[in-house]
Amino acid sequence: MSIKEFSESAKGFTKSPLGIIALFIVLVYGFASLVVSFGQNVSDHITPLIYFMVFFPILVFLGFLWLVANHHNKLYGPSDFKNEENFLKSQLSSAISLAAAISKQPGGSEVLNKDQLNEIVDIFLKMKRRPSSDKWKNRVLWVDDCPENNIYERQAFEDQGLHIELAISTEEALQILEHEKFAIIISDMGRKEGSEEGYVLLHELRKSGNRTPFVIYAGSNLYEHKKLARERGAIGSTNRPQELFQLVMRTVQNGSE
């Protein structure tokens, strides 16, 4: 292999942490080989060199096992996770779904204004979503007795690689949560069971020791309702699709790290 070919291959390896580790190992062994081949009086120090050549790969292997066990989701570069064209398509599709969700809000307009469009663009520019290898960290439980009202919001999340599971009552949600784990729970407020059923579900979860992040997605965006939701253990409350999207994606991203 020529120097040019090697440099091109090395450039490809630098795109991910695993590749950088591999390059480091090659570099170390390259220097060791040069010392053996061209060094003077190497025979006087051959024993330490042999020990190094034998035990260095073992140390690297143990370090690799530690990384896999504790930081497996950080071992890959962005190109290892997705095709760039598919990534752009998913981002565009998610943005379109979010725009549709905003436009269908009460009092909303079918045509978004400049500020709303800029807000959507800003959301996706700041977002650094990377699917986790732990499946539950990509799962969302959405509790709403009228799921047809949230079709566009769910689509925006699904385009980001999240899996949405639906529940239409507090009882059904609690049954699901007995056996399954989620990165976050989204709940409406009023359902057929009661006008504050979102708080009822939240109370039952916290009473049982379930600390899953909880977001209220209801008809109000008043400050006092946001404050009350946080006081009761939710991470937020909103009626704005773009705010919901940011809350959920930020929580999921932080949980993936």
pLDDT digits (tens, 9 = 90+) for 66-93: 765 565 555 555 555 455 666 777 888 8
Q: Does 117 share its domain with 140? A: yes
- Give the model's pLDDT for residue 126: 81
Q: Does 51 share its domain with 163? A: no
- C-beta separation of 186 from 239 below 8 A: no
Q: Does 154 share its domain with 244? A: yes
Q: Does 169 share its domain with 242? A: yes
Q: Does 103 share its domain with 43? A: no
- Domain containing 170 equals 83-256
- Give the model's pLDDT for residue 127: 79
- Give the model's pLDDT for residue 90: 82
CA–CA separation, 254 vs 96, rounded Å? 24
- Give the model's pLDDT for residue 189: 97
> Coil, strand, or helix at residue 219?
coil
Q: Is 208 exposed, middle or buried, given 0-12, 13-18 or 19+ CB atoms closer than 10 A? A: exposed
CA–CA separation, 122 vs 167, rounded Å? 31
- Give the model's pLDDT for residue 55: 73
Q: Where are the alpha helices (DSSP H) in the chain?
A: 3-13, 17-38, 46-71, 78-81, 84-103, 114-126, 151-158, 170-179, 197-207, 223-231, 241-256
* Closest alpha carbon to 102 in 118, 125, 88, 86: 118
- Give the model's pLDDT for residue 129: 63
Q: Does 198 share its domain with 252? A: yes
Q: Does 35 share its domain with 92? A: no
Looking at 74, 99, 128, which one is the last position of a domain? 74
Q: Does 119 share its domain with 232? A: yes
- Give the model's pLDDT for residue 25: 67
Q: Does 115 share its domain with 67? A: no
End-to-end, the C-alpha distance of the chain in Å comes to 39
Q: What is the CATH number of the domain that holds 139?
A: 3.40.50.2300
- C-beta separation of 252 from 129 below 8 A: yes
Q: Does 67 share its domain with 135? A: no
Looking at 74, 107, 124, which one is the last position of a domain? 74
Phi, psi of 40 (to 5 degrees): -100, 145
- Give the model's pLDDT for residue 30: 65
Looking at 74, 98, 113, which one is the last position of a domain? 74
Q: Does 114 share its domain with 182? A: yes
How many domains is the chain built from? Answer: 2
- Give the model's pLDDT for residue 174: 97
Which residues 6+ apart lie within 8 Å of 200 measured at CB?
170, 193, 194
Long-range Cβ contact pairs of 67-72 (< 8 A, separation 24 or more): 72/133
The upper half-sphere exposure of residue 63, i.e. CA atoms within 13 Å in the direction of its Cβ, equals 11
CA–CA separation, 161 vs 139, rounded Å? 9
Q: Does 107 share its domain with 182? A: yes
Q: Is 127 exposed, middle or buried, given 0-12, 13-18 or 19+ CB atoms closer than 10 A? A: middle
Low-confidence ranges of the chain (pLDDT < 70): 1-47, 49-50, 52-54, 56-57, 60-61, 64-65, 67-86, 108-110, 129-131, 256-257
